Each structure stands twice: as structure tokens, then as C-alpha cells.
Amino acid sequence: MGLAIKETKEILHDVLDNTGVVVIYLDVNRNIVFCNKKTEKLTGLKHDDIIGANWLKVLFHGNNSIIKQEMFKAVLDECVRHKREKDFEGVILDSDNNQRLISWNLTPIMVENNRVAGSILIGHDITKIREAGNSAKSIDETLKDILSSLKDYALFVINLEGNITYFGMGSEIMLGWNKKEIIFKHLNLLHNADDAENNLHFILEQVRLFGKCEKETTLISKNGEAIPVILTANKFLDSDGKHSGYIFIAKDITERKKLEYQAFQGEKLAALGLLSAGMAHEINNPLLVISGRSALLMEENLSQKIKNDLYLINSQAERIQKLVDRILKYSQKTKPVFTAVDINEAIEFILPFAQYSNLPNTKVEIKNNFEKNMRPIKGDIHQLQEVFLNLIINAYQSMPNGGIIQITTRNFEDHCALIQIKDTGLGISADNLKDVFMPFFSTKNDGEGLGLSICHNIIKNHNGAIELESQVGRGSTFTIKLPFI
Amino acid sequence: MLYKVLVVDDEAPVRDLLSDLLKREDCKVTICATGEEALELLKKDTFEVVLLDIKLPGISGLEVLKNIRDTNKNLPVIMITGFGYNEDLIGKSKEFGCCGYIGKNMPVAQIITTFKQFVKDAKNGE
């Protein structure tokens, strides 16, 4: 039996020595009567130095932090007073003077008559666990940094009531809202509720039904601008896995849309060009007969009345002829003769001609803002002059009450020349803006609607780009980009 | 008589008009509607100038021109077309050896003036 008890004690010692935790037995005077090897290892003190010493002197032997010692003392006081165990966290220094974060458990030892005979202190070193937690946090931070740098993406979260609870990544840049302004505001701010297809509630319905929804749609920015996006919506689950809202990731596709639109316009124009050429050919033959026969008849000995009518027929045929010529010009791929073109010179040359288009009794001022050292571009000077002339004439005609035409040239981003022709005229409505480069589209009563489509074709054949920005009542700006030689 | 002309155009009102216009200028005019007919006529008869439409049913005006050039290097051939001024067609016509190109979009008076100028230049060896 005696042997058995001895063996049990040894086993207990072994167990206590080999557990990964600190085990300390305190007497009622709070002196240590037992400690395991982990205690020696952690504190760096020898067994004999520990046994009999005050627990706080042992635990804080290398640290005079009164506050920490007071905290440990308060915990033990409470345990003893209330006769119940207590868990707490506290930092001590190890043998190498490194801070160790320990999760402590302090339990009073109760003997007969509900008396406290001492306490057991068990400490679990959680420094590494917490460090791992911290580094996980720093990965989160890194991800957040990376995601924040993706300015084309907006990430926002709403709760089940539709209120925005998170507004991160590029949301502020893309949508113009400041985080503080929009947090807890309703999702309705970001979409056009009247637009059934782009309604975010419709997207949310899809998420509810199918768990996820990806859709090309538009979001409304703070200043009311519609921003085309690819919107991915998912259920947002909280840390307990409970559905607590929706997470949206929106990718700004404005640039892509622009390119798609240009390509679409290009194809449409090419198809129209082909159609126009075929039609023009079919019109030219009968038209030649009409104008030719009427011209021949006019030379016959006929009454003045008939001659007048024949003249009318002939002149109207000629009118059609001119229109057909314009259509043909638009549709034909006339090969540009490329040479080095000085844009400033090309524009200066046509300015006197453009001024003839000034409407009567209007005062139009032309302001030139030419870059002095314009790099030459590769182009057909006559075709380009036709473009500039057309645009300046347009500018004149759009200002029946006078105004300012500002012509700007500059070297743009090292690869192309930028030419801007800006007027302060009537402007074009947003509805009409998308059609201005289409043939036969005109906002002028007497316009045949080919001028801008010809300009578009010419610039396209020069591997350039032409864009129009306009606001009703404020004027229009044509921007042309042409690659340098 | 100014010139003996062969007018080739598939559209009757057009070739009749061209014929009438040239006759007024004292030309002797023969008309036909296709390239095949034109080549046949050229074998049988001698002409001083051919006014040849480019877009024809069957063999095109450009092929007719090529055929003419295989046998006759000097016969003035003037191309005429409803496509108006077209650089591709002008380039091809010149390559195949035409001496002029007229768009049907011109006023009739100008068509005749241009026609006469081309023939004159061709005969002067230009």
C-alpha cells in the first residue's frame, strides 16, 4: 500500500511536471509550497528559490510592476473571499525577460468547515496563440490594403433592412459618397428605384432565390451620375453563419462600355456606309437621266412655263445629286494620303473659311490655345482640315446669340495630339448625344446629318478618336486624339 | 463627224441619254447593254472611243477593258460609273489602261466636256 501511494505521488509529479502548464500550490499565506517544472522553466528560478517564497515575488521577480502585482493580488483576494475559482489573463516576464501572456486559473482549496486552506494557480502560456491571432489580423489588414487599392471595385455591405453597414474599397471613389455620410443610410441611395431592371431589390430577390447574383447594371453616384458596373451580390453571413445581410462587389466598367459603344458605332457606321454606297449607285443612274433629259429638253423650243418647270426638275435633281455625292463621300474608303501634319498650321489655315459660317448679327469670339511645340501627327491634311472646318462651322451654328469658340491643341500623354473645339452654344441633349456621329442625324432643321459622320470616319481612318461632350444650354466640346508620327 | 463611239451601259435610259448627248456633239454612236456584246461589236467593227460602264451584268466593265487592252493598246476607253468619284475604281481603271473616268454624278454638260477632253488627250498621246 505504502508503495502504491509512493508510486501514485511519483506519477502525479511526473504528470504535473510534464503538463504544458504552470502549476503552483499556495498556502494561506500565499507562499508557494509546490510548483512543477514548467514554473521553474518559465520563471527561470530554481526549485529551491521558489518553494517558500511569496507567489508575487516569484511571478514578478524580474518585474516591479506594482499595478500588475496588485491585479494578481486582487484576483486572489476575490477568490478567497468568494471561495470560487477565477480565470484571468496576465502578463509576466520569462527567464529571458520576454513578456509571456498567460491565461491563469486561480482556485481556492476548500477544506472542512468551508475553510480556505490555500490556492492552486494554473497558468497556460497563450503568447504564441495570441501572436498567431495577431498575425491573422495583419493578413486581414494586408488584404484590406490590397482591396482598397483596387479603385475600380466598390465593396459594400447592407443589413437585412437594406441599410449600408460597410462601405469600403473603392466605394468612396467610385460612388462619390463619403463613408461617414452613407453608413446606415438605405441602399436606395445607390440605385434608381424606378428602373425595374437595374433595381437592386430585384438583384436581392435573385440572391434570396439563388444564393448569388451577378449582373451588369448601373449604380448612381452621389452627383447623380449613372455608373455602369458588374455587380456581384452574395448573402452576408455573420461569424455564427447567420444570414445577416448582403455583400456587394461592383466593378466599374465605364471604360469597357465606352469601347464597346465605339466598336458598336463603328460597325453600325460601316454597315450604313455599305448600304449608302449601294443606294447611291442605284440613285445616280436614274438621276442622271432625269437631270440629263430635263437639260436637253430645256434647249428645245418650248413655252416659258414648260421651260420653268423643266428648270425646276433639273435643279431639284441636282439637289438630290449633291446629297448623293455626300453620301458616297461618307461611305467610301477614300485612301488618305499621309504626310507629317502640323495640327496648329492645319487649323490656322481653315479658320478664315470657318468664319464665313458666322450667323448674321452674332458676335463670336475665337480663342486659340495652341501648344507651341506640337509634335507632328501622321495624317491627310485635307481630310483633317475638313474635320476641323466641319466642327468649327458646327460651333458657329450652335451659337445664334454669339459666344466663344475655344480651340485647344496639346501633346497628350506622349503618344498623341489632342485637339479640342469648345463652344458656348446651345448644346445637345443627352438623348441626342449618342446619335450625333450617325449619318443622317441632325439637330438642325436644314442639316443633312452627314458632317459629323464624315468627321468620325476620317478620324477613324487616321487611327484616332473623336468624342463629344455636351450640355444643353452650356455648349459642346469635341475632343479629337490623333497619334503622333 | 467628231468620233465613232461605242456606249456600253446596262440601263437603257442611261445609254440612250449618253447616246443622244454624244450625237448632239456630232458623234456616231453605237449602243449595247453588256460587256459580252461590246467585245463582239469591237471584233466586228472599228470604234474611235468606248464609253464603258463599270458595273455591268456578266463580265464587268473592268474585265472588258482588260480584254480590249489585250488586243488593242491604243483604243481610248473611258470608264463611267454611278459610284461617282471612287479612288479604288479609278486606281483599277487606270491600272487596266483606261484613258479617263467619269462619274454619273456630274451634270450632263460636264460629262460631255470631260469626255471630249479625255479623248483629245488620248489622241494626243497623253
CATH number of the domain where residue B42 is located: 3.40.50.2300
pLDDT at B51: 96
Instruction: Evaluate if residue B36 carries a pLDDT over 80.
Output: yes
Contact B84 A325 (CB under 8 A): yes
C-alpha cell at B3: 468620233
For residue A166, list its beta bridge partners: A157
**pLDDT in 10s for each residue of chain A, 485 residues:** 455 566 777 777 787 888 788 999 999 999 999 999 889 988 889 989 999 999 988 888 877 666 677 778 888 888 888 888 888 888 888 888 888 888 899 999 888 888 888 999 999 888 887 776 665 555 556 556 655 556 678 888 888 888 888 887 688 888 888 888 888 888 888 887 666 666 777 788 888 888 788 888 888 888 888 888 888 888 887 767 778 888 888 888 888 888 887 777 777 767 777 777 778 888 999 999 999 999 999 999 999 999 999 999 999 998 888 888 877 776 665 567 788 899 999 998 888 777 776 666 678 899 999 998 899 998 888 889 889 988 998 898 889 888 999 999 999 988 899 999 999 999 988 888 877 887 666 766 555 567 788 888 889 888 899 999 999 999 999 999 999 98
Residue ending a domain, choose from A252, A268, A301: A252
Same domain, yes or no: A358 and A475: yes
Q: Which residues on chain B are in Cβ contact (under 8 Å) with A324?
A: 84, 105
Contact A324 B13 (CB under 8 A): no
C-alpha cell at A113: 468547515
Same domain, yes or no: A289 and A390: no
Residue A56 lies in a domain: yes
Q: Is B85 on the interface with A (CB under 8 A)?
A: yes
pLDDT at A167: 86
Residue B53 lies in a domain: yes
Q: Which of A391, A276, A358 is nearest to A323 (CA)?
A: A276
Instruction: Quote the number of domains for chain A.
Output: 4
Closest Cα in chain B, distance from residue A458 (Å)? 15
Residue B33 lies in a domain: yes
Q: Which residues on chain A are in Cβ contact (under 8 Å) with B87?
A: 332, 334-335
Contact yes or no for A389/A354 (Cβ under 8 A): yes
Same domain, yes or no: A11 and A125: yes
CA–CA dist A257, A345 (Å, integer): 35
Mutation for testing the A interface, residue in B19, B83, B102, B113 having most A CBs under 10 Å: B83
Note which residues in 274-313 of chain A have CB less than 8 A from chain B: 277, 280-289, 291-293, 295-296
Instruction: Give the H/E segment covering residue B88.
Output: helix B87-95
Provide the 10 A C-beta neighbour count for residue A367.
Answer: 10
Contact yes or no for A246/A158 (Cβ under 8 A): yes
Contact A328 B84 (CB under 8 A): yes
Closest Cα in chain B, distance from residue A331 (Å)? 10
pLDDT at A440: 64
> Chain A residue closest to B54 (CA)?
A281
Secondary structure (DSSP) of A144-186: HHHHHH-TTEEEEEEETTSBEEEEEETHHHHH---HHHHTTSB
Contact B84 A324 (CB under 8 A): yes
Q: What is the CATH number of the domain that holds A237?
A: 3.30.450.20
Mutation for testing the A interface, residue in B17, B53, B106 having most A CBs under 10 Å: B17
Domain of A322, in residue numbers: 257-331
- Does pTM top 0.80 for this prediction? no
Same domain, yes or no: A322 and A368: no
Same domain, yes or no: A122 and A171: no
Contact A333 B17 (CB under 8 A): no
Closest Cα in chain B, distance from residue A447 (Å)? 21
Contact B13 A286 (CB under 8 A): yes
Same domain, yes or no: A46 and A109: yes
Of B14, B83, B87, the CB nearest to A288: B14
Q: In what order do the strands lie in the sheet with A115-125?
A: A32-35, A22-27, A115-125, A99-111, A86-93
CA–CA dist A28, A109 (Å, integer): 10
Closest Cα in chain A, distance from residue B6 (Å)? 19
Domain of B96, in residue numbers: 4-121
Instruction: Quote the number of domains for chain B.
Output: 1
Same domain, yes or no: A345 and A320: no
Instruction: Evaluate if residue B83 carries a pLDDT over 90.
Output: no
Residue A135 lies in a domain: no
Q: Is B82 on the interface with A (CB under 8 A)?
A: yes
Contact A291 B105 (CB under 8 A): no
CA–CA dist A326, A67 (Å, integer): 93
Q: What is the CATH number of the domain that holds A317?
A: 1.10.287
Residue B31 lies in a domain: yes
Contact B82 A281 (CB under 8 A): yes
Q: Which of B86, B79, B75, B44 is nearest to B60 (CA)?
A: B79
Residue B126 lies in a domain: no
Q: Which of A97, A80, A24 is nearest to A56 (CA)?
A: A24
Residue A34 lies in a domain: yes
Contact B104 A288 (CB under 8 A): yes
Between A400 and B51, the higher pLDDT residue? B51
Alpha carbon A260 to its chain centroid, in Å, reads 18
Q: What is the CATH number of the domain that holds A406?
A: 3.30.565.10
Contact B84 A280 (CB under 8 A): yes
CA–CA dist B1, A403 (Å, integer): 63
pLDDT at A195: 67
ipTM associated with this complex: 0.90
Closest Cα in chain B, distance from residue A410 (Å)? 33
pLDDT at A1: 46
Same domain, yes or no: A319 and A231: no
Of B24, B104, B109, the CB nearest to A284: B104
Residue B9 lies in a domain: yes
